[in-house]
Amino acid sequence: MAQILWITGAGKGIGRAVALEYAAHGWAVAVSARTESDLSDVVKESVDAELPGRVVGYPLDVTDHDAVKRVFKAIEADLGQIDQIIFNAGTHAPTSPTEFSVQSFRTLMEVNYMGSVNGLDAVLPTLIDRKTGHVAIVASVAGYSGLPNAAGYGATKAALINMCESLKTQLDAYGVTISVINPGFVRTPLTDQNEFPMPFLMEPEDAARALFSGMAKKKFEISFPTPFVLILKFLRLLPYWLYFPLVKRMTKV
């Protein structure tokens, strides 16, 4: 019997590539996103490619708490017990001091952070009761430390990382695995809007393979690409008097 994945934010970018990667390995994949036509495209692509796994669309706005619970129940009723869950839905908006906007921060927090919180609220009681399951949250290397123009986006990703770290030890005691996924720059419709150099830019298919491998190994942190991750982890260890000049030089702010 095929293993089952549920992934949100699966209409484009990393989520789409991950859904197809899992289907290529024979998994049954429930894909969620707000735009139904994007989900239809993912399903069609899996069929056209004759992938061994089945892809099924479940439209969802992750900011709708009740809808997240309904979709979780619907997937398990249709496909069976979910083995892995990846809460990937997210958005990005640059934040500069001259264009500071409460609404921008609120939108980023509702989608990126509360969208994952809504997901955890929907699935954790069931996973804890079963004493099994693997849930992953897609954060970002932008959550490691403060970067220019990322005051809103980076804050949501830092919050996700902290939340996963906080939950891990207690979820281990219940037999539930939690992972945090921290990608660097991956070519997606969101990063296509960036007007600055993106070091170590990855293709979504390469990111999907790295993510699939990390999930199979049940790693707590799944991060890529390795050179970029190591650079940013080194930077966050520096004292501020070194950190800020280096970041300014690297980002050319």
In 3D, which of 18, 21, 49 has the Cα closest to residue 32?
18
Which tokens belong to 113?
Answer: 């952070």
List C-alpha distances in Å: 185 to 190, 225, 227.
Answer: 10, 8, 12
Helix locations, the chain, DSSP H:
13-24, 36-48, 65-79, 102-108, 114-130, 151-173, 204-216, 226-235, 240-251
* Residue 10 CB-density burial (10 A; 0-12 exposed, 13-18 middle, 19+ buried): buried
Give the integer Cα–Cα distance in Å for 71 and 79.
12
Q: How far apart are CA 204 and CA 17, in angstroms?
A: 6
| List 58, 113, 153, 243, catalytic entry | 153
For the question of residue 22 being annotated catalytic, the response is no
Residues annotated as catalytic (active site), given as ranges: 153
